[in-house]
């Protein structure tokens, strides 16, 4: 299907009306075609058009490309925002992935609520993405590849050229006598996407001329399946989810589900809480090593930027725990304002500064030989027994702020007073949800 600005307009007219269109303009053939196409239908667009160029600083000709983009936009009378990046990938980190993430982050910082970002991804890019995901062993969410539109930041990210092939866009660009910049890195076969682009996909197209349409259809089927799995995961989660404790999940609720729905629920829960999704092997190990562990244990399974633990009949999801405060740390506190706690543990405050707090207190963390007489009980409890009675998980115990006064231990955070004759516990421990 030959590309034309009117077909582009028809596609945009099926989408929400934004406050402003932003077009990602690299200066390459794809984005140049998109920019020129938009310029020809600008009078029919329901919102202003703005271009944005990212100078990654990774190529010798980066400044030339930026100048080309500036001159092109000036000629078309399209405002251009040019942004500079300073990329320093860590050892082992993909430069391509870092550049992509930094590029989107930089653009997002300049967009307002209700804006729409248009990118020049086309049908060949979709084929590459699907094949890469397939070769990585991705599930249906990965095989769904790139959607036409998705909510992004406070607006939308749209790829209006997905139904067109690279050749179709290039034919129109040559017909219009457009000029663009070629990125030599696109020819480096050491990059897997480039290898597919130059060596594999041409062979597939030769054998299956309808490759772009059929793979796009498969991607849509996978997107529908992924959406269905998401809905099933949410429905299952609602049945065993406490909105007041979103980082916890009762194991008893998992036991009634099939193995497939257990895996789906765990993925949905992790994604819902904003943590990186673990791979299928980690999901399997969570079910066998954490969910299947004996109640008396306290198993832990970690992955990049996430971990899951078990205490009694509950799963606890969280980012990696910071180290516990150093032994011997003692914080003097006059209780006049909240006390910031170390290691990301939040802060301690008081609801009412009673007379017995007038001389201030000392906040320490786990010490040996602690004992506490909570509530109106006659007998004291060891620290371990107290934590068991109060259902405080083992990993939280060395992180509990312990409040001391002149006569010894006053309170264990906001869990209990250890001198109940003092009345009601006035302390409030404000901490991240996943530490509750």
What are the φ and ψ backbone dihedral angles of 147, each rounded to 5 degrees? -80, 160
Distance separating alpha carbons of residues 234 and 229, to the nearest angstrom = 9
CA distance 412 to 363: 10
Sheet holding 339-340, edge to edge: 339-340, 347-350, 427-430
Instruction: Answer yes or no: are the C-beta atoms of 215 and 162 closer than 8 Å.
Output: no
Q: How far is it, in rounded angstroms, from Cα 215 to Cα 111?
A: 32
> Do residues 397 and 385 touch, judged by C-beta distance below 8 A?
no
- Residue 93 CB burial class (10 angstroms; 0-12, 13-18, ≥19): exposed
pLDDT tens digits, the chain, 436 residues: what are they? 789 999 999 999 999 999 999 999 999 999 999 999 999 999 999 999 999 999 876 676 788 999 999 999 999 999 999 998 876 655 555 666 777 788 888 899 999 999 999 999 999 999 999 999 999 888 898 899 899 999 998 899 999 999 999 999 999 999 999 999 988 777 788 888 889 999 999 999 999 999 999 998 999 999 999 999 999 999 999 888 788 889 999 888 888 899 999 999 999 999 999 999 998 999 999 999 999 887 767 899 999 999 999 998 899 999 999 899 988 899 999 988 999 999 999 999 998 878 788 888 999 997 778 888 887 666 788 888 888 889 999 999 999 999 998 888 889 999 988 877 777 888 999 999 999 8
pTM higher than 0.85 for the full model? no
Task: Enumerate residues 6+ apart whose C-beta is below 8 A from 116.
Answer: 15, 16, 18, 20, 21, 22, 47, 155, 156, 157, 158
Return left, alpha or beta for 339; rule: phi > 0 is left, psi -120 to 50 is alpha, else beta: beta
Cβ partners under 8 Å of residue 308, min gap 6? 286, 290, 300, 301, 315, 316, 317, 318
> Contact, 187 vs 194, CB < 8 A?
yes
Give the domain 5-216 fold: Rossmann fold (3.40.50)
Q: Does domain 241-318 have CATH number 1.20.59.20?
A: yes
Q: CATH 1.20.59.20 residue ranges in the chain? A: 241-318
Sheet holding 155-158, edge to edge: 80-84, 49-55, 21-24, 116-118, 155-158, 149-152
Q: Could you tell me where in the chain the CATH 3.40.50.620 domains are found?
A: 5-216
């Amino acid at each position: 299907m030959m590309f034309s600005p009117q077909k582009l307009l028809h596609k945009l007219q099926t989408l929400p009306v934004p406050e402003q269109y932003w077009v990602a303009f690299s200066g390459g053939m794809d984005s140049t075609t998109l920019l020129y196409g938009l310029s020809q239908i600008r009078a029919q667009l329901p919102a202003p058009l703005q271009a944005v160029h990212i100078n990654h600083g990774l190529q010798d000709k980066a400044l030339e490309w930026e100048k080309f983009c500036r001159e092109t936009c000036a000629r078309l009378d399209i405002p251009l925002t040019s942004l500079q990046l300073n990329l320093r990938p860590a050892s082992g980190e993909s430069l391509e992935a870092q550049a992509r993430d930094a590029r989107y982050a930089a653009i997002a910082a300049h967009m307002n609520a209700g804006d729409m970002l248009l990118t020049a991804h086309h049908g060949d890019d979709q084929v590459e993405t699907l094949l890469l995901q397939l070769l990585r062993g991705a599930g249906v969410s990965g095989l769904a590849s790139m959607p036409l539109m998705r909510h992004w930041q406070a607006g939308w990210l749209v790829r209006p050229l997905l139904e067109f092939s690279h050749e179709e866009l290039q034919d129109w660009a040559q017909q219009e006598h457009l000029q663009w910049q070629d990125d030599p890195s696109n020819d480096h076969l050491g990059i897997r996407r480039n290898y597919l682009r130059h060596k594999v996909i041409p062979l597939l197209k030769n054998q299956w001329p309808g490759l772009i349409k059929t793979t796009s259809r498969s991607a849509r089927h996978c997107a529908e399946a992924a959406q269905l799995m998401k809905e099933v995961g949410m429905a299952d989660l609602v049945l065993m989810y406490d909105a007041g404790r979103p980082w916890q999940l009762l194991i008893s609720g998992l036991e009634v589900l099939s193995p497939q729905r257990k895996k789906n629920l765990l993925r949905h829960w992790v994604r819902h809480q904003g943590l990186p999704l673990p791979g299928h092997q980690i999901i399997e190990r969570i079910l066998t090593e954490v969910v299947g562990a004996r109640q008396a244990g306290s198993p832990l399974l970690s992955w990049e930027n996430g971990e899951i633990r078990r205490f009694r009949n509950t799963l606890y999801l969280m980012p990696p725990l910071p180290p516990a405060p150093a032994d011997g740390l003692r914080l003097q506190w006059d209780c006049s304002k909240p006390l910031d706690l170390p290691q990301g543990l939040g802060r301690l405050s008081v609801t009412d500064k009673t007379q017995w707090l007038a001389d201030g207190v000392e906040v320490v963390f786990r010490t040996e030989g602690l004992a506490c007489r909570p509530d109106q009980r006659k007998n004291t409890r060891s620290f371990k027994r107290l934590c068991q009675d109060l259902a405080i998980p083992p990993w939280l115990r060395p992180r509990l702020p312990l409040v001391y006064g002149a006569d010894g231990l006053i309170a264990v955070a906001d869990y209990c007073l250890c001198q109940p004759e003092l009345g009601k516990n006035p302390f409030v421990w404000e901490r991240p949800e996943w530490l509750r």
